[in-house]
C-alpha cells in the first residue's frame, strides 16, 4: 500500500491490489467532488500522474464519493496528455512557440500556454480546449493581416504548436464526448462535468464497491424489492447469455443527517471489541448490537438536535448492525429469496460477485468486493465456525445465519487460490421445504409426492441422489416435514444445512449431531462414522444423514443391515443414476455389495437444460426401488426397478407398469406389515392416490389465491397431521381406511382452516 500522509487533508493512499486511489477529503476547503470543484479535479489529476494504474477513485469525507473505471479513465487520459505535453514534448518552451528572438512575443505565448496547460487544463479540461480553440481562431486572424513574411512564418510556427496541442486535447475521450456541444460555451461552467461524472455516494464505513449504472446496450426486464427496501433490477444485455443483477441497498438512499448520525454511531460502536465467545451465538450478538445501536442513534440525534422518526431509527439501527455484527453487503444480497448461490471470486477489487437466480439463473452483479472485505469475511467465518482457515488448512466448510435465511459457506484461502480468498455461498430457505411447495415449482408432481409420503410412513431407507445443486437437500428437508412430530429425529451433518431451528419451532423432537468435515479434518470434531454410531445409541429414532460422503457409509450400512434402525433412514448422496449411486457406495466408499441391499428407494434429482442451453430446470428423474435377490451387480441382475420415470415430452414424472400393477417389492413389503394393507393392493394404491389428492388440493388453492403460505411448512405439517388423525377416526368408525371418507373429513377441516389465508389477487382498497 503506497501512502502519502492519508491522515492529512487531501492526502491519499493507493491500494495496488485493487487499483484504488483513496483521498482524504475530510475538512478539505475545496470540497469532495471532481465534477463540482476545479481544485478537486486538479488535485485528483495530479495524483493520477503519480499513480498511473489507478482504476477507481474514492473521495472520502463523511461519505465516500466513488468514481468507477470509466469515469477515472477520462481523468487518466487528461493526466497522460498533460505529462506527454509538459514532460515528454516540453511544449512550454521558447523553441516551441517562436522562431524569432522577440522576448515580448515569447513571454506572452509562454504565459498563455503555461496558464492553459498547467492550470486550466488540470482544473477544467473542457474550458482549456475551448480557450485553445478561440486562441487558434485569434492567431489565424492575426496571420491574415500580417504583412511581414518573417512574422507570418513565426505566427504559422506558433499556430502549428497550438494545433498540435489541440489535437492532443481532442484525442481524449472527455473532449470527444462534448465536442459537438461547445458552441457558445461559457468558460468555467461545469454543467457538462455533471453529466460525465456520477460518483456513487455511500457511507464511508462500507468497503464494497458498486457499479451504479447498468451496462451499455441493456434494458430492464424486472424490478422488485426485498428485505429493508432493497431495490433490485434485472437487466438483459444485448448479445450476452447471462443477465445483470443490479442491487441498491437502503443505505444508499439516506439523507445527509442520517449519514452523519450513522458515522458517529459507527465510531462509537467500533470501540467495542467482541470477544470470541460472543461469536458462538451470533443471533444474540446481533440483537445486542441492534439494541445498543438503536439507543445510541436516538441519543446522538437528540444531542445534535436532529429529528428522526421511529421508522428511521429502526432502519438506521439495522444498517448499523449489518456493518458491525453482520456480513455487510453479502447479507443484503442473501436476503433476496430468489438468490440460490452467490460466488465471490478472486482477485478482489475488480471482480464482481456472481449469483444464481431462481428465475433468471446465472447473473453478474454490480457489486465488487474489496480485499479488506474478503479478509473480514474470512475472519468471521473462521471465528464463528471454530474451524481454521490458513496455509495449513486452506479450505473451510461452514454455515452462517442471517436475517431471512441461512447459508452454507465454502471458503478457499490464498495458498489454494493464489489471487486471494474465494467464497461459494449456497443460500438455504429460512422456512423448510415441503412436498407441495416443490410440486408448485414443478420439481415433481403430486403422485410422486404421495408415493414418497407413503414410503416415508412405511419406515423405509431412502437415498436422494443427484448432481450438485440438483435439489437433494431441499427434498430431504421436505421429507422431514412429511414425518409426524411424534417421531424423534436424529440428524448427522458436517455442515448444518437442514432447517432444524424452524422444525424445532414447529414442535419436532430433534437431536442434531455435527460431525467432522471430510474436507477440513478438524481433530476436535467427531468423525461422521462415529457420529452415526453415537446416533444409534440415542434410542429409537428416524435417522437423517445430511450427505453420505465417505467412511460413514460403511457404518450406516452396517447399522441398517443388522436392523438397528426401525424407522425412516434418509440421506443425500452424489450420483446421477441408481447404478451411479451403487458404484459410488460400493467402489468409492468400500461398502460391500450385499450391504447395499439395505437401500430400499433411490430418488434421482437432476438439473435439466433447455435446447438453447440458456435455461435449467430441477426435476425428479426417477423413483427406483432396490430388490434384494441379486449378488454382484444390481444393474446387470435387474435389481433396480423403476416405480416412476421422468417423461421429457410431458415434463412430468410418470408411474411405470410395475407401480400401476402393484408389483413393487418395497410397497408390498410395507403392506405386509400393516394389517389393513396386507394382500390388498387396491387399498394401498387408493391411499397413495389419497395423499396425491390432498396435496393437489392444497397446491391448487395456493394458486387460486396466489398465496404460497398455504403450502409452506407450518400449515402443511398441520394438514398432514390432520390426515393421519382422520385415517384413525375413519378406521374406528367403519373398520377400514375408506379413502373417500378420509378425504371428506380432511377437506371439511381444510375448507375451514384455509380461511385464514389472504387472497393476494384481491386489490386492496
- pLDDT at position 210, please? 78
- pLDDT at position 243, please? 93
CA distance 441 to 437: 7
24-80 per-position pLDDT tens digit: 888 788 778 899 999 999 999 999 999 999 998 999 887 788 898 889 999 999 999
Strand partners, 4: 12
The answer on pLDDT for 447 being more than 70 is yes
Q: What kind of architecture, by CATH, is found in domain 435-671? A: 3-Layer(aba) Sandwich (3.40)
Q: With residue 574 as reference, give the H or E element that holds it.
A: strand 569-574
CA distance 508 to 500: 9
The answer on pLDDT for 277 being more than 70 is no
- Structure-model confidence comparison of residues 314 and 613, the more confident one: 314
CB 468 within 8 A of CB 514: no
CA distance 362 to 351: 16
Pairing of strands 422-428, 230-237: unpaired
Q: Where are the alpha helices (DSSP H) in 84-231?
A: 94-97, 103-113, 121-123, 125-145, 149-170, 173-178, 191-196
Strand partners, 465: 573, 604
CA distance 741 to 690: 10
Local confidence band at 413 (pLDDT 50, 70, 90 cut-offs):
confident
CA distance 710 to 698: 7
CB 40 within 8 A of CB 34: yes
C-alpha grid cell, residue 589: 466408499
Query: What crossing angle do the helices spanning 69-83 and 38-50 adopt, rounded to 10°?
Result: 80
Phi and psi torsions of 611, nearest 5°: -60, -35
Q: With residue 753 as reference, give the H or E element that holds it.
A: helix 739-753
Local confidence band at 518 (pLDDT 50, 70, 90 cut-offs):
low
- pLDDT at position 20, please? 87
Pairing of strands 218-226, 209-210: unpaired
Local confidence band at 563 (pLDDT 50, 70, 90 cut-offs):
low
Identify the burial level of 672 via C-beta atoms within 10 angstroms of its C-beta, where 0-12 means exposed, 13-18 middle and 19 or more buried.
exposed
C-alpha grid cell, residue 143: 496571420
**Alpha-carbon radius of gyration of the chain:** 35
E strands of 304-421, at which residues?
339-344, 354-357, 361-365, 367-368, 395-402, 405-412
The answer on pLDDT for 2 being more than 50 is no
CB 143 within 8 A of CB 156: yes
CB 544 within 8 A of CB 531: no
Question: Quick one: which of 192, 241, 235 has its CA closest to 213?
Answer: 235
Rounded (10°) CA dihedral 420, 426, 431, 433: -170
The answer on pLDDT for 514 being more than 80 is no
- pLDDT at position 375, please? 87
In the predicted model, what is the mean pLDDT of the chain?
Answer: 87
Intervals of CATH 3.40.50.300 along the chain: 435-671
Cell numbers 468486493 label which residue?
369
Local confidence band at 444 (pLDDT 50, 70, 90 cut-offs):
very high
CA distance 88 to 82: 9
Number of Cβ within a 10 Å radius of residue 744: 13
This prediction has a pTM of 0.78
What's the CATH class of domain 251-428? alpha beta
Phi and psi torsions of 270, nearest 5°: -65, -20
Q: With residue 70 as reference, give the H or E element that holds it.
A: helix 69-83
C-alpha grid cell, residue 129: 480546449
Q: Is the dihedral of CA 704, 709, 713, 718 positive or negative?
A: negative
Residue 43, by phi and psi: left (phi above 0), alpha (psi -120 to 50) or beta?
A: alpha
The answer on pLDDT for 517 being more than 90 is no
- pLDDT at position 693, please? 97
In degrees, rounded to 5, the angle at the alpha carbon of residue 757 between the alpha carbons of residues 755 and 761 is 110
- pLDDT at position 312, please? 84
Phi and psi torsions of 237, nearest 5°: -100, 130
- Structure-model confidence comparison of residues 52 and 567, the more confident one: 52
Mean pLDDT check: name the lowest of 90-94, 139-143, 176-180, 199-203: 199-203
Phi and psi torsions of 170, nearest 5°: -70, -20
Question: From residue 83, how far is each of 118, 164, 167 by CA, in Å?
Answer: 10, 15, 15
CB 462 within 8 A of CB 445: no
- pLDDT at position 90, please? 92
Residue 587, CB-side half-sphere exposure with 13 Å CA sphere: 9
E strands of 227-285, at which residues?
230-237, 243-248
CA distance 274 to 268: 13
E strands of 445-533, at which residues?
461-466, 488-493, 509-514
The answer on pLDDT for 511 being more than 60 is yes
Residues 436-467: b if buried by 16+ CB within 10 A, e if exposed:
bbbbbeebbbbbbbbbbbbbbbbbbbbbbbbe
622: Cβ contacts below 8 Å, ≥ 6 apart: 578, 603, 604, 642, 643, 644, 645, 646, 653
- pLDDT at position 765, please? 34
CB 234 within 8 A of CB 363: yes
Question: Quick one: which of 216, 246, 395 has its CA closest to 332?
Answer: 246
Overall average pLDDT of the 607-617 stretch? 84
Q: With residue 379 as reference, give the H or E element that holds it.
A: helix 371-385
Local confidence band at 577 (pLDDT 50, 70, 90 cut-offs):
very high
Question: From residue 514, how far is each of 427, 428, 527, 581, 733 by CA, in Å?
Answer: 19, 18, 9, 24, 46
Local confidence band at 764 (pLDDT 50, 70, 90 cut-offs):
very low
- pLDDT at position 274, please? 60
The answer on pLDDT for 256 being more than 60 is yes
Long-range contacts from 303-307, C-beta under 8 angstroms, 24+ separation:
304/260, 304/261, 304/264, 306/257, 306/261
Local confidence band at 259 (pLDDT 50, 70, 90 cut-offs):
confident
CA distance 225 to 233: 9
- pLDDT at position 40, please? 92
Intervals of CATH 3.30.450.380 along the chain: 251-428
C-alpha grid cell, residue 114: 503555461
Pairing of strands 422-428, 209-210: unpaired
312-343 per-position pLDDT tens digit: 888 888 888 888 888 888 989 999 989 999 99
- Structure-model confidence comparison of residues 617 and 284, the more confident one: 617
Peptide bond into 347 cis (omega under 30): yes
For residue 118, give the DSSP letter. I
Amino acid at each position: 500500500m503506497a501512502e502519502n500522509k492519508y491522515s492529512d487533508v487531501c492526502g491519499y493512499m493507493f491500494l495496488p491490489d485493487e487499483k484504488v486511489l483513496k483521498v482524504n477529503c475530510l475538512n478539505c476547503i475545496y470540497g469532495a467532488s471532481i465534477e463540482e470543484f476545479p481544485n478537486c479535479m486538479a488535485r485528483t489529476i495530479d495524483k493520477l500522474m503519480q499513480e498511473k494504474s489507478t482504476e477507481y477513485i474514492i473521495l472520502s469525507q463523511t461519505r465516500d464519493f466513488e468514481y468507477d473505471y470509466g469515469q477515472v479513465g477520462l481523468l487518466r487520459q487528461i493526466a497522460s496528455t498533460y505529462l506527454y505535453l509538459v514532460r515528454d514534448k516540453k511544449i512550454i518552451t521558447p523553441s516551441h512557440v517562436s522562431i524569432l528572438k522577440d522576448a515580448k512575443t515569447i513571454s506572452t505565448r509562454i504565459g498563455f500556454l503555461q496558464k492553459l496547460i498547467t492550470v486550466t487544463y488540470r482544473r477544467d479540461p473542457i474550458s482549456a480546449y475551448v480557450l485553445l480553440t478561440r486562441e487558434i481562431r485569434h492567431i489565424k486572424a492575426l496571420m491574415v493581416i500580417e504583412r511581414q513574411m518573417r512574422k507570418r512564418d513565426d505566427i504559422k510556427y506558433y499556430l502549428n504548436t497550438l494545433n498540435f496541442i489541440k489535437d492532443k486535447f481532442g484525442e481524449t475521450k472527455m473532449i470527444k464526448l462534448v465536442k459537438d456541444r461547445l458552441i457558445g460555451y461559457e468558460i468555467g461552467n461545469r454543467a457538462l462535468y455533471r453529466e460525465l461524472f456520477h460518483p456513487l455516494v455511500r457511507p464511508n464505513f462500507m468497503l464494497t464497491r458498486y457499479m451504479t449504472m447498468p451496462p451499455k446496450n441493456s434494458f430492464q426486464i424486472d424490478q422488485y424489492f426485498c428485505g429493508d427496501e432493497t431495490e433490485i433490477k434485472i437487466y438483459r444485455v444485448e448479445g450476452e447469455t447471462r443477465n445483470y443483477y443490479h442491487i441498491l441497498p437502503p443505505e444508499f438512499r439516506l439523507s445527509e443527517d442520517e449519514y452523519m448520525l450513522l458515522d458517529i454511531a459507527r465510531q462509537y460502536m467500533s470501540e467495542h471489541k467482541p470477544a470470541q465467545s460472543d461469536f458462538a451465538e451470533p443471533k444474540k450478538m446481533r440483537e445486542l448490537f441492534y439494541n445498543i445501536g438503536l439507543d445510541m442513534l436516538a441519543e446522538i440525534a437528540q444531542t445534535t438536535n436532529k429529528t428522526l422518526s421511529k421508522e428511521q431509527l429502526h432502519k438506521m439501527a439495522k444498517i448499523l448492525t449489518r456493518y458491525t455484527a453482520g456480513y455487510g453487503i453479502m447479507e443484503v444480497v442473501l436476503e433476496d429469496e430468489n438468490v440460490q448461490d452467490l460466488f465471490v471470486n478472486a482477485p478482489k477489487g475488480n471482480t464482481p460477485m456472481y449469483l444464481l437466480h431462481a428465475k433468471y439463473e446465472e447473473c453478474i452483479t454490480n457489486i465488487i468486493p474489496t480485499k479488506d472485505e474478503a479478509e473480514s469475511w474470512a475472519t468471521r467465518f473462521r471465528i464463528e465456525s471454530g474451524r481454521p482457515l490458513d496455509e495449513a488448512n486452506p479450505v473451510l466448510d461452514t454455515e452462517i445465519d442471517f436475517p431471512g435465511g441461512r447459508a452454507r459457506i465454502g471458503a478457499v484461502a490464498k495458498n489454494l487460490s493464489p489471487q486471494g480468498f474465494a467464497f461459494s455461498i449456497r443460500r438455504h430457505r429460512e422456512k423448510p421445504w415441503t412436498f407441495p411447495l416443490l410440486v408448485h415449482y414443478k420439481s415433481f408432481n403430486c403422485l410422486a409426492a404421495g408415493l414418497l409420503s407413503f414410503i416415508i410412513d412405511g419406515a423405509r431407507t431412502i437415498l436422494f441422489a443427484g448432481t450438485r445443486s440438483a435439489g437433494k437437500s431441499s427434498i430431504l428437508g421436505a421429507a422431514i416435514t412429511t414425518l409426524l412430530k411424534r417421531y424423534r429425529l436424529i440428524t448427522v451433518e458436517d455442515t448444518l444445512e437442514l432447517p432444524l431451528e424452524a422444525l424445532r419451532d414447529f414442535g419436532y423432537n430433534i437431536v442434531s449431531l455435527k460431525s467432522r468435515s471430510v474436507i477440513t479434518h478438524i481433530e476436535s470434531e467427531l468423525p461422521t462414522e462415529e457420529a452415526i454410531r453415537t446416533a444409534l445409541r440415542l434410542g429409537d429414532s428416524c435417522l437423517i444423514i445430511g450427505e453420505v460422503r465417505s467412511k460413514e457409509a460403511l457404518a450406516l450400512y452396517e447399522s441398517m443391515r443388522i436392523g438397528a434402525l426401525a424407522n425412516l433412514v434418509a440421506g443425500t448422496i452424489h450420483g446421477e443414476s441408481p447404478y451411479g449411486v451403487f458404484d459410488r457406495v460400493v467402489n468409492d466408499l468400500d461398502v460391500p455389495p450385499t450391504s447395499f441391499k439395505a437401500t430400499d428407494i433411490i430418488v434421482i434429482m437432476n438439473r435439466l437444460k433447455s435446447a438453447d442451453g440458456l435455461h435449467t430446470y430441477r426435476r425428479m428423474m426417477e423413483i427406483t426401488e432396490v430388490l434384494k435377490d441379486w449378488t454382484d451387480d444390481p444393474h446387470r441382475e435387474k435389481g433396480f426397478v423403476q416405480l416412476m420415470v421422468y417423461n421429457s415430452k410431458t415434463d412430468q414424472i410418470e408411474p411405470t407398469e410395475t407401480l400401476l400393477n402393484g408389483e413393487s417389492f418395497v410397497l408390498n413389503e410395507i403392506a405386509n406389515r400393516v394389517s389393513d394393507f396386507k394382500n390388498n393392493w387396491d387399498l394401498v394404491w387408493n391411499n397413495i392416490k389419497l395423499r396425491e389428492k390432498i396435496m393437489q388440493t392444497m397446491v391448487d388453492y395456493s394458486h387460486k389465491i396466489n398465496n404460497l403460505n398455504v403450502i409452506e411448512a407450518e400449515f402443511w405439517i398441520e394438514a398432514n397431521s390432520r390426515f393421519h388423525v382422520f385415517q384413525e377416526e375413519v378406521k374406528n368408525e367403519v373398520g377400514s381406511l375408506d379413502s373417500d371418507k378420509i378425504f371428506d373429513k380432511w377437506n371439511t377441516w381444510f375448507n375451514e382452516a384455509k380461511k385464514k389465508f389472504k387472497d393476494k389477487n384481491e386489490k386492496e382498497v
